[in-house]
Amino acid sequence: MNVHKTERLLFVILLMALLDSAYLLLVALAPQTLACPDTGIINCASVVESVFSKVFGVPLALLGFVWVIAAIALSYYMRDKIQTTLWFAAGIVGVAYSFTAMYSLREICIYCSVLDILVIASLVLLYKVQQHT
């Protein structure tokens, strides 16, 4: 895949992450029923309302949304590879936190998991783009 296609794919992945994180933020700020099944292990409401949903009193959804906004800006401009890579690596820390939270709760949030996958995919794509620049 050439670098321009990879850059476009990275942008699409980040836009999908933006939509997902915006939905999670909306639910965090104005609690409402999530469009998610409650089938035992899959229980979005339980995960997003758990003790893990806030870090130092800040909704994790807000941190995720801010991360995605900054990731879009950094990946678009990519002036400083180290800064961009460090920011994306911070996203992986968020993914690890999310995985740990869901494992501890023994429940899965579909929206959180999709966002985790998108963050990982964006890091892989960023690496591919940076290999060619």
pLDDT digit string, tens, across residues 63-120: 999 999 998 988 877 667 788 888 888 999 999 999 999 999 999 999 999 999 999 9
Structural domain of residue 85, as residue ranges?
3-131
What are the DSSP calls for the chain, one per residue? --HHHHHHHHHHHHHHHHHHHHHHHHHHHS----SS-B-SSBBHHHHHTSGGGEETTEEHHHHHHHHHHHHHHHHHH---HHHHHHHHHHHHHHHHHHHHHHHHHT-B-HHHHHHHHHHHHHHHHHHHHHHT-
Q: What is the CATH number of the domain that holds 39?
A: 1.20.1440.130
Query: Is pLDDT of 38 > 70?
Result: yes
- Identify the band that residue 35 occupies on the pLDDT scale cut at 50, 70 and 90: confident
Q: What is the model's pLDDT at position 79?
A: 64
Q: What is the pTM of this model?
A: 0.90
> How many domains would you assign to the chain?
1
